[in-house]
Amino acid sequence: MTSIDFTALVKEQNYPDWIHTPQNVKDIAKELAQDQVQLFDNIAKQIDNPTIDNVMKPFAKFSNENSFLENQITFYQHVSDNKELRDASTEAEELLDKTSIEQWSRLDVFQVFEKLNESVKNDALVDPETKRYLTKILISFKRNGLALPSDQREIVKKLQVELSNLKLQFAKNLGEDKGYILFSEDELEGIPKDVISQYEKIEEDGKTKLKVTFKYPDILPVFRHASNSNTRKLANLAYGNRVSENDEILDKIIRIRYDIAKELGYDTFSDYVLEERMAKRKETVLDFLDDLRTKLDPVAENDLKELKKLKKQDFVNRGLKEEDDFYAWDFNYYNEKLLEDKYQVDNTKVAEYFPLQSTIDKMLQFYEKIFDIKFVKLTPPKNQIWHEDVQQYSIFQGVTSGKLEHIGAIYFDLHPREGKYGHAANFGLGPGFEESNGDRHTPVTALVCNFTKPTKEKPSLLKHNEVVTFFHELGHGIHNILSQTKYARFHGTSVERDFVETPSQMLEYWCWSKNEIKALSSHYETGEPMNDELISQLVKTKHINTGLFNLRQLFFGIFDMKLHTINSREQLDKLDLLKTWNELKDSVTLLPSDDNPTKGYASFGHIAGGYESGYYGYLYSLVFAADIYHTLFKEDPMNTENGIRYRDIILKRGGSREIMDNLEELLGRKPNSDAFLKETFG
């Protein structure tokens, strides 16, 4: 592998430029919108004799060839350090969404696709992926109201446009958040000194305060290490109330979704969403969540007993007045203490073994071995990246066989900055597809994270949970890179939403395997791998407080379903987001907030756009992830043969086939929850 010179191969590739101005972005959006209208106009003219050649091919060509450009100009809002460019990007997405909703509401175009479908559904010469694409197109039209009378179609269209704009505003407010909280250095006792040194100093009332922003590298150390419980409480409440302007926006979003569902003839918005998911029915999801809660409650109660004992002893040791309750702001702090006291796992020390660049290099080697691929780090000119922090890699397949093939490019944008997307996510920028001449168009994807920036004294050091996060998001990226579908519509992560997390969750298991942790670790000063004793202790912590952790996930899923299973105007009129959020949070998570309500839903980006009536999918997909790992990889995580089998059956096919069929082929049986239950409950 090392003997191959990739320099010439890399030079053959054409990588996109990232040099757009705000006006460029707006102009491109207008042009794309006009081109889409023209495409739909031309398709409408084929009503007398619609064929694959005059309808499907131009339709697919437009989608295939314009996906990257559309994703690129709308991606700037998440990563650009230029506010004008971010604003233009949001404006571009608003225009594109409005145009798309209008075009997908056209009865004349719908009728053409209906007629085409009738003519080819029994045609053996039309390949299965094309037929599946045509079916999905028809479903999309119907879900936009094309089976309704014209007056109702217009209502649905207006509601969809309003909903789209609200979702964009919600996300924009979240991305532009500049919130912070001020503390004196004494109030931040317990937080590592290298973290303290990174906080900006602010003079207030003649006193020096430290500015703790709500970016992960700033706020998380307060939750985990501040020994002053009032500091943790204030930080927790401030963080929970950030972006409060989204309160009203989410309320409007829920009400519009209700109206859309009713106009389309669904009992609830969940019914509308779930017919396109693996779960299919809201009852399936609600039963799943209810059953899981029943199983998790006793596990979480035991978790809580141990944490309460730890808190009680801590208060005694420090001569503080005891507290009977265990609050939401206590969890992260005493979870860290439990890891340190009982398991001798100091996450700050563990992080010393995961310097960012070394960990990336080793992580990529894992993926290379499992999937028979090769990452080649590039030195891109400024015009090929959107920020100086961004890294770029070119990816090749067939290294072992010597039949090298360039299969895509991936970007890493890993540190926080103002206006940047605040969590961790993979953005599938450019899907792969089959070009008209039979060549393969290669995909482009980007990992956007928020890890601590390096300092003069230390490189960026990843906590173990951040290593898991990186593995997870890279799993999405690899899904996008390794997929090889005919159409962009089915590429990579374009699968059912309640399966999309499975490939990434499955790959998290490598972060808990002893041999793999040793191979992945390298002390930032000595280069030595983590010792066996520390690795063993770290692995033992995998299921520590898993009950409480999963109840938190369950709370998000239950809250999501609560809002989207409203089935009457009376219920909708009674909706109180603040009350619903806080009552559910206290009762489900078992971690009360001492009558200090927060508007955490105002920063719940998933529910505003993408995972509405779908957050359960994070737990639902764990069942499939555990089954795949235990069946194919548990005995030999680095088995290339099984990796290639998994790659070709699950990742390569994207959404071009039914996921359940793929799972049965991969496993040799129907998937089951045995491995998941064993992992979760022992």
Determine, yes or no, domain membership for 673: yes
Residue span of the structural domain in which 364 resides:
356-546+618-681
- Is the same domain home to 90 and 186? no
Determine, yes or no, domain membership for 571: no
| Closest alpha carbon to 306 in 582, 546, 539, 594 | 546
pLDDT band, residue 484 (cuts 50/70/90):
very high
Lowest mean pLDDT among 9-23, 227-241, 265-279, 345-359: 9-23
Q: Is the pLDDT of residue 112 over 70?
A: yes
> What pLDDT sits at residue 3?
62
- Is the same domain home to 632 and 512? yes
Q: What percentage of the chain has pLDDT greater than the value 90?
A: 94
Determine, yes or no, domain membership for 581: no
Q: What percentage of the chain has pLDDT greater than the value 70?
A: 100
pLDDT band, residue 205 (cuts 50/70/90):
confident
Q: Report the side by side order of strands in the sheet with 180-183.
A: 180-183, 207-213, 200-204
pLDDT digits (tens, 9 = 90+) for 234-279: 999 999 999 999 999 999 999 999 999 999 999 999 999 999 999 9
| Mean pLDDT, range 325-354, rounded to an integer | 96
Determine, yes or no, domain membership for 184: yes
- Is the same domain home to 526 and 389? yes
- Is the same domain home to 505 and 625? yes
pLDDT band, residue 483 (cuts 50/70/90):
very high
| Closest alpha carbon to 374 in 344, 394, 348 | 394
> What pLDDT sits at residue 594?
95
As given in the structure block, the two tokens for residue 119 are 């003519």
Give the CATH number, domain containing residue 398: 1.10.1370.40
Q: Which of 172, 190, 224 is the last residue of a domain?
A: 224
Q: Is 564:273 a contact under the CB 8 Å cutoff?
A: yes
Q: The pTM is what? A: 0.95
Average pLDDT over all residues of the chain = 96
pLDDT band, residue 10 (cuts 50/70/90):
confident
**Residues 530, 268: Cα–Cα separation, whole Å:** 52
Determine, yes or no, domain membership for 194: yes
Q: Which of 205, 224, 243 is the last residue of a domain?
A: 224
pLDDT digits (tens, 9 = 90+) for 129-160: 999 999 999 999 999 999 899 999 999 999 99
Q: Is the pLDDT of residue 13 over 90?
A: no
Catalytic residues: 473
pLDDT band, residue 326 (cuts 50/70/90):
very high
- Is the same domain home to 193 and 76? no
Q: Is the pLDDT of residue 8 over 80?
A: no
The Cα-based distances of 545 to 95, 307, 556, 618, 681 in angstroms read: 46, 9, 17, 18, 11
- Is the same domain home to 110 and 217? no
pLDDT digits (tens, 9 = 90+) for 161-176: 999 999 999 999 999 9
Q: Is the pLDDT of residue 614 over 50?
A: yes
Determine, yes or no, domain membership for 133: yes
Determine, yes or no, domain membership for 279: no
- Is the same domain home to 111 and 184? no
Q: Is 414:447 a contact under the CB 8 Å cutoff?
A: yes
Q: Is the pLDDT of residue 403 over 90?
A: no
> What pLDDT sits at residue 1?
43
Q: Which residues pair with 200 in a beta bridge?
A: 211
Q: Which of 143, 172, 200 is the last residue of a domain?
A: 143
Domain total in the chain = 3
Query: Residue 520: which residues within 8 A CB-CB, separation 6 or more?
Result: 354, 359, 362, 363, 366, 467, 510, 511
- Is the same domain home to 365 and 462? yes
- Is the same domain home to 391 and 445? yes
Q: Is 376:393 a contact under the CB 8 Å cutoff?
A: yes
- Is the same domain home to 188 and 125? no
- Is the same domain home to 74 and 206? no
Determine, yes or no, domain membership for 253: no
| Mean pLDDT, range 449-472, rounded to an integer | 95
Phi, psi of 411, rounded to the nearest 5 degrees? -110, 145
Q: Which amino acid is at 667?
A: L
DSSP state of 402: T
| Mean pLDDT, range 190-219, rounded to an integer | 94
Lowest mean pLDDT among 170-184, 246-260, 394-408, 489-503: 394-408
* 254-259-262-266 Cα dihedral, nearest 10 degrees: -30
Give the CATH number, domain containing residue 50: 1.20.1050.40
> What pLDDT sits at residue 295?
96
DSSP 4-29: ---HHHHHT--PPP----HHHHHHHH
| Closest alpha carbon to 462 in 540, 549, 382, 520 | 520
Phi, psi of 451, rounded to the nearest 5 degrees? -90, 155
- Is the same domain home to 389 and 535? yes
